[in-house]
């Protein structure tokens, strides 16, 4: 029955207890019993469980009885980090309501607001929840005030402890009471939104769908409205969170559709599925495609794994439309891909998934934003990779993306944060007090400065108490130059970066010093230089190797010597040969770190 | 045909702080049991070949009493010796005396090796060694009187806080002894030694190298030939036994912790006295195919001044070295020299020979 369905998601700032709350809901609805409950049940990737964050969304259908009525609750889990707001908005489109989780001691944070606004944009009914009330440091009264300040009523708010289970039953009742049932027409032609997909080696592409109108049944011939691909529905099922086959999915329901789809490119997340025999007139609005903001080159250390890397990226792109990639050739690193990401965390996670799930060792080059270059002939070029920067004499001006950056912080850190933002070429916009002790500071800052160690420094300046979020606002002209790094007199294209001219000398010096530390001594002296054009701005030298261990080969124990040499050989495998210089993987990321 | 033999005597009066070899405090009961076991091992394996070299190492073989030494040599009398055999025993100046040296003469020992390591009081303390220079002078004098004309001393350098001046003093003293052979080792701090446990730090790589350069030039002007990375000798007195290792020749190794190279096997004996005395001699066997042997050929021969004899290589393996390892660019880089059909590392690069050897091995051609 459609009126007994509730589709909702949980949104929160990172680490406010979203996944634990989902676990408790699963437990309380009897979907799993306590014995089976691994921590963070919905996070199925190892990586998710280890990092304690949710990367891929996940939908689960739960039965819940209230006042003698059977309800079906479809919980759609969402990631919490700023980089994944795209995925958040995807899951929001499949829901009628959202639970906004706020930590009882941390209070409202930057992403609490960002996610709240996203949910409001999607016209969702919102239930504010104050979680972790069992903590000794919990201060629910203070958080209630904060929530009141952003427009909620005291009686709307539910207090819970996902850890102990307190309040979770009240929350379930509230979901049924407050969140509207889906409104679709089950007699209209089929319209189902693809809000996620993944590749299964046995069943092909599996799509997560929300049926908006009509009904889809096993053996139906369905059509993807954007790509016009047509497939037979092989199976439909819901996740309880065990896989359970169903014969049909009707308007308002959420589930999975498998149709032996072999071609990844036939399925676009955000597309609408309809019946081939009785197609809907028009598509659902779908999603605004997200544009990547951060680019980085990914190269396999083992050149033979280039094709494997392509396959890995294709599979990841399947349920991560925001990931973009195209082949890139580097003189230093060989064949790889220039990849676009939504942000730094997105980048790190993709890199880690490729290394872990696909077993490909990678070198990632320093991330870059997209620059707009106006040439002397007034033509405009977009540059996503420092090595593509045209020669200086051909450039009229360079514009770079700016973001509006909101930082939420306890007020005692205002000083250091403002210092950091000034350092980062930020322009102060305004500052608002949320209560006596917490402020939101807004700055206009170049994105490239955020990409370069901003988060690390923010964390260390504020002992981890501040949170931040950003959105791209516009492009502004800046005095930017390309800084090259030369090893043994040769430019290493993969190490080039675009920097503000005033910062170039300092950056150049830091990078050269870092590289000197990281590059091991070689058979010959290796000069490291930073240059702008032909002008060398910093120089260091890796001295020639002077000595390697001379084990006394005692009593003829040459097996031991061989083992020693084998160890030495192994160590070299993690290095990339650039010209005659062997460079360890870390070198390419060292350019990111400003730690002195 | 095996022509070389190593015998390990693990006992010591004192344990030095840097020592990573198979050694233990001298306990008389153990020694008798050990010698019995050694005898059994030798009898079970030795096939009666005529030997060109025997090397008794340790531990400290000279820490054995005269009676125990007599028993040892009685065991070793089973070996058939060639007329030109090089028969070496290692000694410590603290426990050698005229009686033991006379016994050595009787049984045919013709090469003596002594550990001096350093003469500097502070450094001796760090190494937990003792050295009485009067005793050293006197012992060398007795050796000469008894007719020993092939003597080696060991030197350790690159010790924490050591200066070039300290090294110069050590060398000056060693030259004054006018011995035939000098081995020099830069201090390696191994994990399970006292130095390693105390977290002692090595001197800088650059100073270490400076010391090595100093040793090389100083030895040269004192007429010692640098024939292998760590070894210097007067003309004609290179160590035949150690050279058998670098030539990738076969050898027996008897005793606890000893290594042998027999047929296609590289065997490492157990380091456990219990196992050894219980007849379980072997800890590890590495079976070698031609690829492994060729790899050893590179690893070992490149430590010597004359490097790899390419003709020898070809006749042994029916292949040219260049068809196994594509080392040509390393010649262009100047880290290998090809001369008179020998491939070798030039002396000024010996100190980084491990890296060069790894570079050669990495250039293996498969297929």
Measured from the Cβ of residue A326, the count of other Cβ atoms closer than 10 Å reads 10
Smallest Cα distance from B268 to chain A, Å: 7
Residues of A in contact with B294 (CB under 8 A): none
Which of B152, B261, B268 would you mutate first to test chain A, the one with the most A CBs within 10 A?
Answer: B268
Instruction: Annotate B293-353 with DSSP letters as a single string.
Output: HHHHHHHHHTTBTT-EEHHHHHHHHSS-HHHHB--HHHHHTTSSEEETTEEE--GGGGGGH
Alpha-carbon distance A312 to A473, whole Å? 32
Closest B-chain CA to A551: B188
Alpha-carbon distance B201 to B185, whole Å? 16
Closest by Cα among A486, A242, A561 to B298 = A561
Q: Find out whether B17 and B193 touch, Cβ atoms under 8 Å.
A: yes
A552 and B185 within 8 Å at the Cβ level: the answer is: yes
Chain A CB within 8 Å of residue B214 CB: no
Residue B229 located in a structural domain:
yes
Closest A-chain CA to B243: A556
Instruction: Annotate A391-436 with DSSP letters as a single string.
Output: PGGGEEEEEEEEEEEEEEEEGGGHHHHHHHHHHTT-EEEEEEESSS
Residue B126 located in a structural domain:
yes
B208 and A547 within 8 Å at the Cβ level: the answer is: yes
**Cβ-nearest to B300 among A558, A568, A572:** A558
Q: Which residues of B29-51 are buried (b: 16+ CB within 10 A; e: fewer)?
A: eebeebbebbbebbeeebeebeb
Mean pLDDT score across all residues of chain B: 94
Helix (H/G/I), strand (E/B), else coil: A123: coil
| Judgement on whether residues B232 and B320 belong to the same structural domain of the protein | no
Alpha-carbon distance A367 to A429, whole Å? 27
A554 and B57 within 8 Å at the Cβ level: the answer is: yes
Alpha-carbon distance A481 to A532, whole Å? 7
Closest A-chain CA to B288: A559
Which of A522, A547, A570, A571 would you mutate first to test chain B, the one with the most B CBs within 10 A?
Answer: A547
Mean pLDDT of B257-277: 93
Q: Find out whether B186 and B207 touch, Cβ atoms under 8 Å.
A: no
A559 and B295 within 8 Å at the Cβ level: the answer is: no
Q: What Rg, from alpha-carbon coordinates, does chain B have?
A: 21
Alpha-carbon distance B88 to B153, whole Å? 12
**How many residue contacts between A and B have a Cβ separation below 8 Å?**
97
Both structure tokens of A16: 């406010």
Residue B14 located in a structural domain:
yes
Closest A-chain CA to B55: A555
Predicted local confidence at residue A41, as pLDDT? 55
Q: Of B198, B216, B245, which residue is a domain's last? A: B245
Residue B294 located in a structural domain:
no
| Judgement on whether residues B95 and B174 belong to the same structural domain of the protein | yes
Closest by Cα among A455, A364, A448 to A407 = A455
Predicted local confidence at residue A57, as pLDDT? 43
Smallest Cα distance from B342 to chain A, Å: 22
Which of A488, A544, A550, A559 would you mutate first to test chain B, the one with the most B CBs within 10 A?
Answer: A550
**Cβ-nearest to B6 among A547, A555, A564:** A555
Listed in sequence order, the residues at least 6 apart from A306 whose beta carbon sits closer than 8 Å to its beta carbon are A300, A334, A335, A336
Predicted local confidence at residue B102, as pLDDT? 97
- Is residue B95 over pLDDT 60? yes
Instruction: Annotate A494-563 with DSSP letters as a single string.
Output: GG-EEEEHHHHHHHHHHHHHHHHHHSPPBSS-EEEEEEETTEEEEEEEEPBP--------GGG-HHHHHH
Closest B-chain CA to A559: B266
Smallest Cα distance from A579 to chain B, Å: 13
Global ipTM: 0.81
Residues of A in contact with B356 (CB under 8 A): 523
| Judgement on whether residues B235 and B329 belong to the same structural domain of the protein | no
Q: Please write the tens of the pLDDT for every residue from B194-216.
A: 998 888 998 988 899 999 999 99
**Cβ-nearest to A559 among B188, B266, B349:** B266
A548 and B245 within 8 Å at the Cβ level: the answer is: no
Both structure tokens of A477: 């002209």
Both structure tokens of B194: 């006292």
Residue B172 located in a structural domain:
yes
| Judgement on whether residues B240 and B315 belong to the same structural domain of the protein | no
Both structure tokens of B364: 């293996």
Measured from the Cβ of residue B203, the count of other Cβ atoms closer than 10 Å reads 18
Q: Please write the tens of the pLDDT for every residue from B172-197.
A: 999 999 999 999 999 988 888 899 88
Alpha-carbon distance A571 to B362, whole Å? 12
Smallest Cα distance from B15 to chain A, Å: 17
Chain A CB within 8 Å of residue B209 CB: yes
Q: Find out whether A366 and A588 touch, Cβ atoms under 8 Å.
A: yes
| Judgement on whether residues B209 and B345 belong to the same structural domain of the protein | no
Both structure tokens of B115: 């550990």
Q: Find out whether A208 and A196 touch, Cβ atoms under 8 Å.
A: yes
Closest by Cα among B51, B52, B60, B54 to B88 = B54
| Judgement on whether residues B120 and B226 belong to the same structural domain of the protein | yes
Predicted local confidence at residue A287, as pLDDT? 66
Which of B299, B331, B359, B362 would you mutate first to test chain A, the one with the most A CBs within 10 A?
Answer: B299
Q: Of B229, B245, B261, which residue is a domain's last? A: B245
B245 and A554 within 8 Å at the Cβ level: the answer is: no
Closest by Cα among B322, B316, B291 to A562 = B291
Q: Is A116 exposed, middle or buried (0-12, 13-18, 19+ CB in 10 A)?
A: buried
CATH number at residue B62: 3.20.20.70
Chain A CB within 8 Å of residue B207 CB: no
| Judgement on whether residues B202 and B103 belong to the same structural domain of the protein | yes
Both structure tokens of A84: 């994944």
Q: How far is CA A533 from CA A366, A390, A481, A500, in A?
A: 19, 11, 9, 14
Alpha-carbon distance B170 to A131, whole Å? 73
The count of C-alpha atoms lying within 13 angstroms of the C-alpha of A76, restricted to the half-sphere facing its C-beta, is: 25
Q: Which residues pair with B304 in a beta bridge?
A: B228
A555 and B258 within 8 Å at the Cβ level: the answer is: yes
| Judgement on whether residues B145 and B222 belong to the same structural domain of the protein | yes
Q: Of B203, B219, B245, which residue is a domain's last? A: B245
Predicted local confidence at residue A51, as pLDDT? 47
Mean pLDDT of B51-66: 95
Residue B281 located in a structural domain:
no
Smallest Cα distance from A569 to chain B, Å: 6
CA dihedral sign of residues B34, B37, B43, B44: negative
Alpha-carbon distance A421 to B35, whole Å? 77
**Cβ-nearest to B259 among A546, A552, A559:** A559
| Judgement on whether residues B83 and B154 belong to the same structural domain of the protein | yes
| Judgement on whether residues B198 and B331 belong to the same structural domain of the protein | no
Q: How far is CA B160 from CA B188, B200, B208, B261, B352, in A?
A: 11, 8, 10, 36, 21
| Judgement on whether residues B238 and B346 belong to the same structural domain of the protein | no
The count of C-alpha atoms lying within 13 angstroms of the C-alpha of A38, restricted to the half-sphere facing its C-beta, is: 11
Q: Find out whether A38 and A46 touch, Cβ atoms under 8 Å.
A: no
The torsion angles phi and psi of A400, rounded to 5 degrees, stand at -130, 155
Chain A CB within 8 Å of residue B88 CB: no
Residue B105 located in a structural domain:
yes
Alpha-carbon distance A362 to A355, whole Å? 7
How many domains are there within chain B? 2
Query: With a CB-CB cutoff of 8 Å, which residues 177-196 of chain B face chain A?
Result: 185-186, 188
Residues of B in contact with A575 (CB under 8 A): none
Residues of B in contact with A558 (CB under 8 A): 245, 259, 261, 266, 296, 299-300
| Judgement on whether residues B189 and B69 belong to the same structural domain of the protein | yes
Residues of B in contact with A553 (CB under 8 A): 245
Give the structural domain span for B146: 4-245
Chain A CB within 8 Å of residue B18 CB: no
Chain A CB within 8 Å of residue B156 CB: no
Q: Please write the tens of the pLDDT for every residue from B18-30.
A: 888 888 888 888 9
Both structure tokens of A185: 């027409």
Alpha-carbon distance A548 to B205, whole Å? 9
Residue B300 located in a structural domain:
no
B245 and A558 within 8 Å at the Cβ level: the answer is: yes
**Block means of pLDDT (10 residues each) for chain A, length 596 residues?**
89 81 84 58 54 53 87 77 55 87 89 81 90 92 90 92 90 93 92 84 84 94 91 90 86 91 81 92 75 86 90 84 86 89 82 89 87 94 89 91 89 92 93 82 92 80 78 90 92 89 90 90 90 92 80 67 81 75 78 54
A523 and B333 within 8 Å at the Cβ level: the answer is: yes
Predicted local confidence at residue A36, as pLDDT? 56
Residues of B in contact with A580 (CB under 8 A): 333
């Amino acid at each position: 029955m459609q009126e007994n369905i509730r589709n909702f998601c949980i949104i929160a700032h990172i680490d406010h207890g979203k996944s634990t709350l989902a676990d408790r809901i699963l437990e309380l609805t009897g979907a799993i019993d306590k014995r089976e409950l691994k921590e963070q049940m919905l996070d199925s990737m190892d990586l998710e469980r280890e990092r304690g964050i949710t990367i891929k969304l996940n939908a689960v259908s739960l039965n819940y009885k209230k006042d003698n009525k059977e309800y079906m609750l479809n919980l759609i889990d969402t990631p919490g980090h700023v980089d994944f707001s795209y995925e958040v908005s995807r899951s929001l489109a499949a829901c009628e309501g959202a639970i906004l989780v706020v930590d009882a001691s941390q209070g409202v944070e930057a992403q609490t607001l960002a996610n709240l606004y996203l949910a409001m944009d999607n016209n969702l009914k919102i239930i504010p929840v104050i979680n972790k009330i069992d903590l000794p440091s919990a201060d629910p009264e203070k958080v209630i005030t904060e929530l009141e300040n952003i427009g909620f009523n005291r009686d709307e708010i539910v207090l819970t402890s996902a850890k102990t289970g307190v309040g979770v039953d009240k929350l379930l009742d509230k979901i049924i009471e407050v969140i509207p049932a889906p409104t679709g027409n089950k007699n209209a032609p089929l319209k189902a939104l693809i809000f996620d997909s993944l590749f299964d080696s046995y069943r092909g592409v599996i799509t997560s769908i929300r049926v908006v109108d009509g009904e889809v049944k096993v053996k139906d011939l369905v059509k993807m409205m954007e790509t016009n691909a047509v497939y037979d529905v092989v199976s439909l099922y819901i996740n309880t969170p065990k896989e359970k086959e169903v014969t049909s999915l009707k308007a308002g329901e959420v589930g999975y559709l498998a149709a032996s789809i072999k071609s990844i490119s036939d399925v676009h997340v955000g597309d609408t599925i309809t019946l081939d025999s009785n197609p809907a007139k028009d598509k659902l609005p779908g999603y605004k495609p997200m544009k990547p903001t951060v680019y980085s080159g990914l190269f396999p250390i083992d050149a033979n794994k280039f094709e494997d890397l392509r396959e890995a990226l294709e599979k990841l792109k399947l349920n991560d439309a925001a990931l973009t990639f195209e082949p890139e050739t580097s003189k230093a690193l060989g064949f790889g891909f220039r990849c676009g990401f939504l942000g730094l965390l997105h980048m790190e996670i993709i890199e880690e998934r490729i290394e872990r799930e696909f077993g490909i060792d990678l070198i990632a080059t320093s991330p870059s934003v997209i620059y707009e270059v106006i040439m002397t002939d007034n033509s405009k070029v977009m540059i996503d990779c420092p090595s593509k920067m045209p020669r200086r004499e051909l450039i009229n001006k360079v514009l770079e993306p700016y973001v509006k950056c909101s930082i939420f912080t306890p007020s005692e850190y205002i000083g250091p944060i403002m210092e950091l933002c000034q350092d980062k070429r930020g322009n102060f916009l305004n500052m608002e007090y949320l209560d006596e002790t917490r402020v939101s500071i807004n700055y206009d800052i170049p994105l490239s400065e955020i990409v370069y160690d901003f988060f690390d420094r923010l964390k260390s300046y504020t002992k981890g108490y501040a949170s931040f979020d950003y959105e791209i606002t516009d492009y502004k002209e800046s005095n930017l130059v390309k800084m090259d790094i030369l090893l043994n007199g040769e430019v290493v294209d993969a190490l080039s970066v675009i920097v503000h001219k005033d910062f170039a000398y300092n950056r150049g010096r830091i990078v050269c010093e870092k590289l000197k530390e990281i590059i091991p001594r070689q058979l010959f002296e290796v000069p490291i230089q930073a240059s702008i054009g032909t002008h060398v701005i910093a120089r260091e030298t890796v001295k020639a190797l002077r000595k390697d261990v001379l084990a006394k080969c005692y009593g003829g124990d040459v097996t031991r010597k061989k083992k020693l040499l084998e160890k030495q050989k192994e160590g070299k495998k993690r290095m990339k040969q650039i010209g005659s210089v062997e460079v360890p993987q870390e070198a390419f990321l060292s350019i990111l770190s400003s730690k002195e | 045909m095996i022509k070389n033999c190593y015998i390990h005597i693990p006992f010591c009066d004192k344990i030095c702080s840097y020592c990573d070899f198979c050694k233990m405090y001298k306990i008389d009961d153990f020694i008798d049991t050990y010698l019995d076991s050694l005898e059994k091992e030798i009898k079970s394996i030795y096939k009666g070949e005529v030997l060109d070299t025997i090397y008794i190492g340790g531990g400290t073989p000279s820490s054995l009493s005269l009676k125990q030494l007599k028993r040892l040599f009685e065991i070793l009398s089973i070996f058939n010796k060639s007329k030109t055999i090089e028969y070496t025993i290692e000694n410590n100046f603290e426990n050698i005396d005229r009686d033991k040296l006379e016994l050595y003469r009787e049984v045919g020992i013709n090469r003596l090796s002594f550990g001096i390591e350093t003469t500097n009081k502070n450094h001796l303390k760090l190494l937990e060694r003792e050295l009485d220079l009067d005793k050293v002078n006197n012992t060398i004098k007795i050796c000469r009187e008894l007719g020993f004309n092939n003597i080696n001393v060991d030197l350790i350098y690159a010790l924490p806080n050591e200066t070039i001046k300290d090294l110069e003093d050590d060398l000056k003293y060693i030259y004054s002894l006018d011995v035939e052979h000098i081995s020099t080792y830069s201090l390696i701090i191994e994990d399970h030694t006292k130095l390693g446990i105390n977290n002692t730090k090595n001197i800088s790589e650059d100073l270490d190298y400076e010391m090595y350069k100093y040793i090389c030039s100083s030895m040269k002007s004192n007429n010692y030939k640098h024939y292998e990375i760590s070894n210097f000798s007067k003309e004609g007195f290179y160590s035949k036994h150690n050279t058998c290792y670098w030539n990738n020749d076969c050898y027996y190794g008897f005793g606890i912790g000893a290594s042998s190279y027999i047929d296609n096997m590289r065997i490492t004996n157990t380091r456990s006295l219990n196992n050894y005395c219980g007849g379980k001699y072997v800890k590890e066997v590495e079976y070698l195919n031609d690829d492994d042997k060729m790899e050893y050929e590179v690893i070992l021969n490149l430590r010597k001044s004359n490097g790899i004899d390419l003709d020898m290589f070809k006749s042994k393996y029916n292949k040219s070295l260049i068809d196994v390892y594509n080392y040509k660019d390393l010649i262009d880089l100047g880290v290998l020299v090809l001369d008179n059909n020998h491939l070798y590392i030039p002396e000024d690069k010996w100190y980084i020979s491990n890296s060069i050897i790894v570079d050669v091995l990495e250039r293996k051609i498969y297929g």
